[in-house]
Amino acid sequence: MNLYDNANGYNNAAGLLADQNHFPGIDMVRFGENISIIQKRVTFENRSILEVYEKAIEIFRDYYQYEEIKGADRKKIEKIPEAAFREAIANGLIHRIWDVESQIRVLMFEDRIEVVSPGGLPAGITKEEYLSGKLSVLRNRNLANVFYRLGFVEIFGTGIMRIRQLYEKSLRKPEFEVSENAIQIVLPVWESNLDLTEDEKMIYGILSKNRLKSMGEIAPYVSFGRSKTTKLLKEMEEKGIITVEGKGRNTKYSIK
């Protein structure tokens, strides 16, 4: 069964919704302390695209949700907003290319999730339009309509904007990378309770737990100069908020 019609340029939505098909699916990997340690790997393929979508949500809940009991009250805690993950997965399914036999990859870390979907942007839309939430070109219109009718997506083209809104009060913000061959959405763990100044929050939002960043990777994204950035980084190190490795030009920073 072909999922892509080269003559008409759209996916076979009926085929994707069948219980048995050739949909390459989603590959989900949960890493430990580093990428050399794989705690769990699950691949959902050759199944209904709706079943794959729901299975991905179930795995997400296992790692990024828990219940907190206070007295008689039981409260669900989300380390990463489920609504943001749903948007990222729906975005990957609806806007991926289907003439490439590649899986959507979901890389799960302690401090973030990375969702990587095969294929770049559809023709007729720029990277700036996509990142600003002005996506108006649907690569897989039939599939998008199914997701819309089932309530998995709200208004077409607002997924990125909705993810940004869900992180509006979080210290760390989602990241979006668009290349010729893939679209990547990075959803960080929600963090909002640190006692930081507004300038420190700006720096904190740029840093990562699992990746060291140099001054050259930090300075372009703050609204003040390098000398103030260096001073703030030193103060944040003294507070025990960040880790510093190396010296001189080789100095790099990460969240503790």
| For residue 4, pLDDT beyond 70 | no
**Cα(194)–Cα(202) distance, integer angstroms:** 12
- For the chain, residues classed under CATH 3.30.565.60 are 4-188
pLDDT of residue 185: 94
Beta-strand runs (E) in 99-170:
104-108, 112-118
Would you say 169 and 75 are in contact if contact means Cβ atoms under 8 Å apart? Answer: no
Q: What is the pLDDT of residues 178-208, one digit of tens each?
A: 888 888 999 999 877 677 888 998 898 888 8
| Residue tagged 């409260």 (tokens) | 75
Average the pLDDT over 154-175 and give the result. Answer: 80
Q: What percent of the chain has pLDDT over 70?
A: 85
Residue 7's pLDDT band, with cuts at 50, 70 and 90, is: very low
**Cα(84)–Cα(213) distance, integer angstroms:** 25
Fold of the CATH domain 198-255: Arc Repressor Mutant, subunit A (1.10.10)
* Token pair belonging to 88: 């990222």
Answering whether pTM is above 0.75, one says no
Q: What is the pLDDT of residues 13-23, one digit of tens each?
A: 555 665 565 67
Phi and psi, residue 183, nearest 5°:
-120, 130
pLDDT of residue 3: 45
Half-sphere exposure of 160 (CA within 13 A, CB side): 20
pLDDT of residue 129: 75
Q: What percent of the chain has pLDDT over 90?
A: 34
| For residue 125, pLDDT beyond 60 | yes
Residue 112's pLDDT band, with cuts at 50, 70 and 90, is: very high
Residue 54's pLDDT band, with cuts at 50, 70 and 90, is: very high
Least confident segment among 105-114, 136-145, 180-189: 136-145
What is the CA 103 to chain-centroid distance, rounded?
16
pLDDT of residue 5: 43
| In CATH, 4-188 is 3.30.565.60 | yes
**Cα(168)–Cα(150) distance, integer angstroms:** 27
pLDDT of residue 15: 58
pLDDT of residue 239: 85
pLDDT of residue 16: 61
- For the chain, residues classed under CATH 1.10.10.10 are 198-255
Average the pLDDT over 139-147 and give the result. Answer: 75
Residue 114 CB-density burial (10 A; 0-12 exposed, 13-18 middle, 19+ buried)? middle
Would you say 241 and 255 are in contact if contact means Cβ atoms under 8 Å apart? Answer: yes
Q: What is the chain's mean pLDDT, rounded?
A: 82
Q: What is the pLDDT of residues 69-103, one digit of tens each?
A: 877 788 888 999 999 999 999 888 877 777 777 89
* Token pair belonging to 118: 């095969």
Task: State the DSSP code for 190.
Answer: P
Write down how long the chain is: 256
**Cα(189)–Cα(91) distance, integer angstroms:** 19
